Amino acid sequence: MQKAQPIGVFDSGYGGLTVLKEIVEKLPGYDYIYLGDNARAPYGNRSFSTVYQYTLQCVKWFFQQGCPLVVLACNTASAKALRTIQQNDLPIIAPEKRVLGVIRPTTEVVGNYSDCKNVGILATNGTVKSESYVIEIHKFFPDVAVYQQACPMWVPLIENNEHMGHGADFFIKKNLRQLFAQNPLIDTVLLACTHYPLMYEKIEEFTPLGVKIIPQGNIVANSLATYLQRHPEMDKEISKNGHRLFYTTDSTEDFEEKAAIFYGQPIVARHADIG
């Protein structure tokens, strides 16, 4: 029998750390390997085929590390690459392994937050164009109206640590105005990009009072816990020593500095060669 190995958690850069943080809080005993593809981030404005190729390369890297289960803690990768990897690649390269995303668990519950059945989605260009949230939410909540707004400047502002400065206000206000112009009755706004929780306070400042703002880390963590309960055959493949390893495809010094902000505590990073 193969030795138990960590869960892989992936993002284009730092955003997935906001999800990993919640997963670790929920499931502290498990081992995790995080990979940020910082050298090629952001993914948000890249084409479908580029995001798919990059994500597949990173998934293969996790498999080389031995991970039996990989969570794509990135909406852009989940929207543009997950289905093809699950349906076309996994059966050939690793039929016994699993890759999960963040869109499905989020869309399963987000409709429950809205009283008036009007949900707003804030996300990258890639996620919005994929229409994944609209399609998936309608599967679980056919009576919920979904309004999407791309926020192409938000990830670059966060990656450059400018998101709490006054410069960021312009873009945050602009995109929220565009969202609520689609329907002023929206009462629930989903942060459908794993970077956005870093700007939570600013988003809240410019969002109409009473509107619920939903980050997805906690939702994804709960869903992973349920998945592992339902799949004991996968659960026993995962090592449980409370270990965490952090990898980046770019500079480890830069990663360590910024990752601490996203993850909420200091980390030590290693370099990963991908592709």
> Which pair of tokens denotes residue 182?
């689609």
Q: Does 107 bind ligand DGL (CB under 6 A)?
A: no
Nearest residue (CB) to ligand DGL, 136 versus 237: 136
Nearest to 30 by CA among 6, 62, 4, 46: 6
Task: Identify whether 193 is a catalytic site residue.
Answer: yes
Count Cβ atoms below 10 Å from residue 225 Cβ, excluding itself.
14
Assign 119 to helix, strand or coil: strand
Q: Does 127 bind ligand DGL (CB under 6 A)?
A: yes
Query: Do the Cβ atoms of 35 and 248 come closer than 8 Å?
Result: yes
Q: Does 55 bind ligand DGL (CB under 6 A)?
A: no
2 secondary structure, DSSP code: P
Among 10, 30, 34, 43, binds ligand DGL (CB under 6 A): 43
Among 38, 75, 149, 239, binds ligand DGL (CB under 6 A): 75
Segment interacting with ligand DGL (CB under 6 A) among 86-94, 131-139, 193-201, 247-255: 193-201
Measured in degrees and rounded to the nearest 5, phi and psi for residue 133 equal -65, -40
Cα distances (Å, whole numbers) of residue 238 to 23, 56, 95, 188, 263:
14, 21, 16, 35, 22
Task: State which H helix or E strand residue 126 sits in.
Answer: helix 125-130
Task: Identify whether 58 is a catalytic site residue.
Answer: no
Q: Does 197 bind ligand DGL (CB under 6 A)?
A: no
Encoded one letter per residue, x for contact with ligand DGL by CB under 6 A and - for no contact, window 137-176 reads ------------------x---------------------
The site for ligand DGL, by CB under 6 A, has a size of 17
Nearest residue (CB) to ligand DGL, 80 versus 97: 80
Residues in 173-192 at the binding interface with ligand DGL, rule: CB under 6 A: none
Encoded one letter per residue, x for contact with ligand DGL by CB under 6 A and - for no contact, window 12-31 reads xx-x----------------
* Shortest distance (Å) from residue 161 CB to ligand DGL: 15
* Beta sheet of 7-11, edge-to-edge order: 98-100, 69-72, 7-11, 32-36, 244-248, 269-271
Nearest to 155 by CA among 189, 196, 121: 196
Task: Supply the residues annotated as catalytic.
Answer: 74, 193
**Residues making contact with ligand DGL (CB under 6 A):** 11-13, 15, 41-44, 74-76, 124, 127, 155, 193-195
